[in-house]
Structure 1
Amino acid sequence: MSSKKSTSAKQAAARSADQGKPGKTSKPGGSGSAGGATRRPGTTAGAKKGGSPGRPGGRADGAAGKAAKSAAAAPAPAEPSGPRPARIAAAAALTALEGAVLLGFGVYLLVMGLIGDPDSPRQAEMLAVTVLALALLPVAAARGLWLRRSWSRGPAMITQLMALPVAWTLVQNGGGLIAIGVAVAAVSFAVLGLLVNPTATQALGIGPRDA
């Protein structure tokens, strides 16, 4: 009997010892929610970077391509056709005459500065170069008017506005320069009147807004 009691006591003590041990903890990353919810690196980034064909960058490229195609398909502005109006021909001739006079005067000043006996040869040469450079403006304007280019109207009118002060200075000096000043002023006013005429602007392809 005593042996049975001791055996049962040992079994009760063993059971109490087993019940007092701490429970087992679950391994991290197992079948729990924390481990199962782990995502593969790069999946979301790849989805974001990959994008769909309709992303903003693709739309911008498509719009730029359409704009380039429309610009290439746009027809070039047609040049004026038909006979050259007499007003344009007269304005071109008078402007060319002004350019020729300036060229001749510039060459004369250059020759006199090189082989003549001016007070300051360097100043005479610089004046000659300046006059020759100014002569290019009416020459280019006259050619443009003859070819009926719309851009030629501006340089031609600028030439006349620059010639009017010169004409006034010549008249103020008196003597034989008065006739030259009057002639220069008459030519300038004539060209201005020809170029502001609606017939001339239409022949040059200049619309109401451009005029």
Structure 2
Amino acid sequence: MSSEQTSTEPAHRPRRLFLATLVCVLEALALVVGGLYVLVRGLAGSGDQGDTATVGLMLVVLGAIPGIAARGLWRLRRWSRGPAVITQLMGLPVAWTLLKTDSMFIPGGIALAAASIAGLVCLLNKETTETLGIRAPSDAAS
């Protein structure tokens, strides 16, 4: 193992990489808490128990994706950027759907859209990709 892999704390973590990690952590928490809320409501008898249990469990499991990505980003693992970017991209159509409603979900849509866009900007930043050891396409050709 290299010294980078054995070290628990990296020498340099760019601010945007830290912010991307934070966005992933918050998204993971939101999915897990939302999933547990739906699951508990379903088990308490609100709505169809089978459907709400399935949706609740699905949200909890989906919360693992940004959670694992956040852990990888924090530990400067190159592979972690892929799941983190996919999570941000998946958040955009969900945010759009929430924004098109005529209800209390609009603020959630705004927050999700802002988080997803901020996460993408931070994850695709040149300093972030260099810190994670990802070369830009123009660098790969040379």
Percent identity between the aligned chains?
A: 43
Picking from 59, 65, 68, the partner of 1:137 is 65
Larger Rg: 1
| Structure-1 residue corresponding to 2:111 | 183
Which whole-Å deviations, capped at 9, do the CAs of 1:10-32 have from their partners, x for residues lacking one?
Answer: xxxxxxxxxxxxxxxxxxxxxxx
How much does 1:182 deviate?
1.0
How much does 1:174 deviate?
2.0
Cα distance in 2 for residues equivalent to 1:169 and 1:90: 25
Which whole-Å deviations, capped at 9, do the CAs of 1:149-188 have from their partners, x for residues lacking one?
Answer: 1010000000011111110111111232111101100100
Which whole-Å deviations, capped at 9, do the CAs of 1:67-96 have from their partners, x for residues lacking one?
Answer: xxxxxxxxx566385221111111101110
Amino acid at match of 2:53: E
Amino acid at match of 1:113: G
| Structure-2 residue corresponding to 1:107 | 36
Aligned: 1:147 with 2:72? no
Structure 1: where are the runs of 5+ without partners? 1-75
- TM-score, scaled relative to structure 1: 0.60
Picking from 23, 26, 34, the partner of 1:94 is 23
> Which structure would you say has the larger RCO, counting Cα contacts within 8 Å and 6 or more residues apart?
2
Amino acid at match of 1:111: V
Aligned: 1:157 with 2:85? yes
Q: Aligned pairs, how many? A: 135
- Give the 3-state SS of the residue equivalent to 1:92 in structure 2: helix
How much does 1:196 deviate?
0.7
| Structure-2 residue corresponding to 1:79 | 4
Decide whether aligned partners of structure 1 residues 204 and 78 sit closer, same or farther in structure 2, where only a CA change above 3 A counts: farther
Cα distance in 1 for residues equivalent to 2:120 and 2:31: 19
- TM-score, scaled relative to structure 2: 0.88
Q: CA RMSD in A?
A: 1.9
